Chain A
Amino acid sequence: MTVTVARPDRRTQPPVRPTKGGAKDRWVRRAPLLPALIFAIIVTQVPFLYTIYLSTTSWNALRPGDKPFVGFDNYVTVLSDSRLRSALVNTVVLTAGAVIFSLILGLLFALLLDRKFLGRGIVRTMLITPFLVMPIAAALLWKHALFNPTYGLINGVFGGSTDWVSSYPKAAVITTLVWQWTPFMMLILLAGLQSQSHEVLEAAKVDGANAWQIFRRMTIPHLRQYLELGALLGSIYLVNTFDAIFSITQGGPGTATTNLPYEIYLTMFRKFEYGEASAAGVIVVILTIIVATFALRVISSLFKMEENR
Chain B
Amino acid sequence: MRARLHNSIWGVVAWIAGIIFVFPVIWMVLTSFKQENVAATNPPSWFFAPTLAQYTQVFDRNITPFLLNSLMASVFSTILVVLLATPAAYALSLRPVAKWSDSLFFFISTKMMPAVAAFLPVYLLVKHLGMLDNIWTMVILYTSMNLPLAVWMMRSFLLEVPREVLEAGEVDGAGLLTSIRKIILPIVSPGLAATALICFIFAWNEFFLAVNLTATASGTSPIFLVGFISSEGAFLARLCAAATIVSLPVLIAGWVAQNKLVRGLSMGAVK
Interface residues of A (CB under 8 A from B): 1, 3-4, 7, 10-11, 14, 16, 19, 26, 29-33, 35-37, 39-40, 43-48, 50-51, 54, 108-109, 112-113, 115-120, 122-138, 140-142, 144-146, 148, 150-151, 153, 155-157, 179, 182, 184, 187-188, 190-192, 195, 226, 229, 233, 236, 239-240, 242-243, 246-247, 250, 260-261, 264-265, 268-269, 274, 277-278, 281-282, 284-285, 288-289, 291-292, 295-296, 299, 302-303
Q: Pick from B240, B246, B266 the residue with the most CB of A within 10 Å.
A: B266
B19: chain A residues within 8 A (beta carbon): 126
Q: Which of B226, B247, B254, B271 interacts with A191 by CB under 8 Å? A: B271
Interface residues of B (CB under 8 A from A): 7-8, 10-11, 13-15, 17-19, 21-22, 24-25, 27-28, 31, 39-44, 84-85, 87-88, 90-98, 100, 103, 105-123, 125, 140-141, 143-144, 147-148, 151, 159-160, 162-163, 201, 204-205, 207-208, 211-212, 221-222, 225-226, 228-229, 236, 239-240, 242-243, 246-247, 250-251, 253-255, 258, 261-262, 265-267, 269-271
A140 touches B88 (CB 8 A): no
Q: Which of B14, B25, B84, B271 interacts with A112 by CB under 8 Å? A: B14
Q: How far is the CA of A253 from the CA of B94 in the complex (A)?
A: 54
B265 touches A282 (CB 8 A): no
A136: chain B residues within 8 A (beta carbon): 207, 222, 225-226
A144 touches B228 (CB 8 A): yes
State how many angstroms separate the Cβ of B100 from the closest Cβ of chain A. Answer: 7
Q: How far is the CA of A284 from the CA of B120 in the complex (A)?
A: 14
Interface residue SS majority, chain B: helix
B15 touches A119 (CB 8 A): yes
A47 touches B205 (CB 8 A): no
Q: Pick from B90, B113, B115, B163 the residue with the most CB of A within 10 Å.
A: B113
A36 touches B13 (CB 8 A): no
Given A32-B88, A117-B14: A151 touches B40 (CB 8 Å cut-off): yes
A29: chain B residues within 8 A (beta carbon): 91, 95-98
B8: chain A residues within 8 A (beta carbon): 117-118
A281 touches B114 (CB 8 A): yes
B114: chain A residues within 8 A (beta carbon): 239-240, 260-261, 281, 284-285, 288
State how many angstroms separate the Cβ of A184 from the closest Cβ of chain B. Answer: 6
A157: chain B residues within 8 A (beta carbon): 43-44
B91 touches A30 (CB 8 A): yes
Given A242-B207, A302-B269: A285 touches B117 (CB 8 Å cut-off): yes
A150: chain B residues within 8 A (beta carbon): 40, 42
Q: A37-B103, A136-B226, A274-B120 are in contact. List 18 more A-B contacts (CB 8 A).
A: A3-B160, A14-B94, A26-B97, A36-B107, A39-B144, A54-B120, A132-B201, A133-B247, A135-B207, A140-B229, A157-B43, A191-B266, A242-B116, A278-B120, A288-B117, A289-B112, A292-B112, A296-B105
Q: How far is the CA of A182 from the CA of B265 in the complex (A)?
A: 13
A134 touches B204 (CB 8 A): yes
A32 touches B112 (CB 8 A): no
Chain B: CB-nearest residue to A263: B116
A31: chain B residues within 8 A (beta carbon): 87, 91
Q: How far is the CA of A126 from the CA of B24 in the complex (A)?
A: 11
Subset of 7 A-B contacts with CB under 8 Å: A14-B93, A32-B87, A33-B91, A126-B18, A133-B250, A188-B265, A243-B207
A247: chain B residues within 8 A (beta carbon): 225-226, 229
State how many angstroms separate the Cβ of A99 from the closest Cβ of chain B. Answer: 15
State how many angstroms separate the Cβ of B1 from the closest Cβ of chain A. Answer: 15
A137 touches B144 (CB 8 A): no
Q: How far is the CA of A20 from the CA of B123 in the complex (A)?
A: 46
B144 touches A44 (CB 8 A): yes
Given A125-B255, A243-B208: A184 touches B265 (CB 8 Å cut-off): yes
Q: How far is the CA of A150 from the CA of B100 in the complex (A)?
A: 58
A129 touches B112 (CB 8 A): no
Chain A: CB-nearest residue to B31: A145
A229: chain B residues within 8 A (beta carbon): 266, 269-270
B27 touches A134 (CB 8 A): no
A142: chain B residues within 8 A (beta carbon): 24
B247 touches A292 (CB 8 A): no
A288: chain B residues within 8 A (beta carbon): 112-114, 117
Q: Pick from B97, B110, B120 the residue with the most CB of A within 10 Å.
A: B120
Q: How far is the CA of A146 from the CA of B255 in the complex (A)?
A: 24
Q: How far is the CA of A284 from the CA of B94 in the complex (A)?
A: 36
Q: How far is the CA of A247 from the CA of B226 in the complex (A)?
A: 8
Given A134-B222, A141-B240, A229-B270: A123 touches B97 (CB 8 Å cut-off): no
State how many angstroms separate the Cβ of B173 from the closest Cβ of chain A. Answer: 18
B239 touches A144 (CB 8 A): yes
State how many angstroms separate the Cβ of A273 from the closest Cβ of chain B. Answer: 11
A303: chain B residues within 8 A (beta carbon): 269
Smallest CB-CB A-B distances: 10 pairs:
A117-B11, A32-B87, A36-B88, A281-B117, A137-B243, A33-B91, A43-B144, A126-B18, A50-B121, A132-B254
